[in-house]
Structure 1
Amino acid sequence: MDQAVLVAIARFPDRGHAIEELARTDEDFRSLCADLADAEAAAVRWQHSSLPVSAARSAEYRDLARDLASELAAMLDRHAQ
């Protein structure tokens, strides 16, 4: 299974089956999963950085990941209807 899809499932473990199903059929959903995975990874990288801007950048990427997760949840909700 694609790593980005696994990140989405980790964010929404109770919706794992729906995530897998939608990821198999919807390229936009897979792209959103990849964006979420990238944002979460960037937040972690910045969190471990020693640069002065690291805390701010990590927070920005955590906010982005939260927004992407909300969009992902909305797509899942629309697909469930």
Structure 2
Amino acid sequence: MDTGVLAAIRRLPKHKKVIEELVLVSESFRNICGDLAEAELALQRWEASEAPGATARRDEYRHLVDGLEAELRQAIHERQARHSGRHGG
């Protein structure tokens, strides 16, 4: 499975099924998943770093990861709303 999809599922395991559906139909969702995986990797590197400015970079990447997670949640919510609307639920 793609590292971006795995990152999304790791962050939002209750939404695994919807994530897998969205990945198949939405290029923008796939891109967000990929961005999340890259941002998580960068965050891990900065967390292990003692370089000057590492604290600021960690904060920056934590904020980016949180923002990408929020985008994923929004896309999932929209997908679920459309899906339940179509089935009268």
Q: TM-score higher than 0.5 here?
A: yes
- 1: CA distance between counterparts of 2:77 and 2:7? 18
Mapping for residues 1-12 of structure 1, pairs under 5 Å: 1-12=1-12
Larger of the two Rg values belongs to structure: 2
Which residue of structure 2 aligns with residue 13 of structure 1?
13
Residue 56, structure 1, aligned to residue 86, structure 2: no
Structure 1 residue ranges without an equivalent (≥5): none
Q: Which amino acid aligns with 1:18?
A: V
Deviation of 1:48 (Å): 0.7
Q: CA deviation at 1:49?
A: 1.1
Instruction: Quote the sequence identity (%).
Output: 43
Structure-2 residue corresponding to 1:32: 32
Cα distance in 1 between the residues matched to 2:65 and 2:19: 17
The Cα of 1:17 is off from its aligned counterpart by: 0.7
Ranges of 4+ aligned residues in structure 1 off by more than 4 Å? none
